[in-house]
């Protein structure tokens, strides 16, 4: 009987996690390299300035065939709104959390799309890595 109770509790906890619909990274939230999908937004932190992440985001959007419909940038915050080939709205928010740390928030569509958001983030991240790897003379 004790084993069946433990199994039932384990099953209920597993179902609660699976059916919650979002992933929360509880350990290291806010740390560089942390990526979490929360309530329709993919959130990630990069060790770059707002301006650098903004430029990488514009390049990634162009490579992915996203049409930028609105963009805004200042020293602490930037935002890009774009449309994909299926006319879905993509919103990318870039917030400076320190002089060399930036938080990215990506939402595709009204409710969010984790797969597409992850794909966009990966392209932005790749652009940032390429920038870091360029030799400086």
Is 77 within a domain? yes
Is 78 within a domain? yes
Q: What is the pLDDT of residues 25-68, one digit of tens each?
A: 333 445 676 788 889 999 999 999 999 999 999 999 999 999 99
> What share of the chain in percent tops pLDDT 90?
62
Comparing 10 with 48, the larger pLDDT belongs to: 48
* Angstrom distance (rounded) from CA 47 to CA 29: 14
Q: 33-72: b or e for each residue (b if 16 or more CB lie within 10 Å)? A: eebbbeebbbbbbbebbbebbbbbbbbbbeebebeeeeee
Q: Is 80 helix (H, G, I), strand (E, B) or coil?
A: strand
Beta bridge partners of 77: 95
Residue 30, judged by CB atoms within 10 A of its CB (0-12, 13-18, 19+), counts as exposed
CATH number for the domain spanning 118: value is: 3.30.160.110
Global model pTM greater than 0.85 = no
Beta bridge partners of 46: 102
- Report how far apart, in Å, the C-alpha atoms of 20 and of each of 24, 106, 112, 113 are: 10, 20, 15, 15
Is 1 within a domain? no
Is 46 within a domain? yes
Answer yes or no: is pLDDT of 100 > 50: yes
Is 18 within a domain? no
Is 30 within a domain? yes
- pLDDT tier at 79, thresholds 50, 70, 90: very high
Total structural domains within the chain: 1
Answer yes or no: is pLDDT of 22 > 50: no
Domain housing 69: 25-133
Is 15 within a domain? no
- Torsions phi, psi of 60, nearest 5? -65, -40
């Amino acid at each position: 009987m004790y084993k069946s109770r433990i199994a039932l509790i384990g099953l209920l906890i597993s179902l609660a996690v699976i059916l919650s619909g979002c992933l929360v990274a509880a350990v290291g939230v806010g740390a560089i390299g942390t990526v979490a999908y929360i309530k329709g937004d993919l959130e990630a932190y990069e060790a770059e300035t707002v301006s650098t992440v903004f430029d990488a985001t514009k390049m990634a959007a162009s490579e992915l065939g996203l049409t930028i419909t609105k963009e805004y940038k200042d020293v602490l915050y930037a935002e890009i709104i774009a449309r994909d080939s299926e006319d879905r709205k993509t919103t990318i928010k870039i917030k400076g959390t320190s002089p060399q740390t930036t938080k990215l928030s990506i939402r595709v569509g009204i409710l969010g799309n984790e797969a597409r958001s992850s794909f966009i983030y990966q392209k932005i991240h790749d652009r940032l890595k390429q920038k870091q790897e360029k030799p400086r003379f």
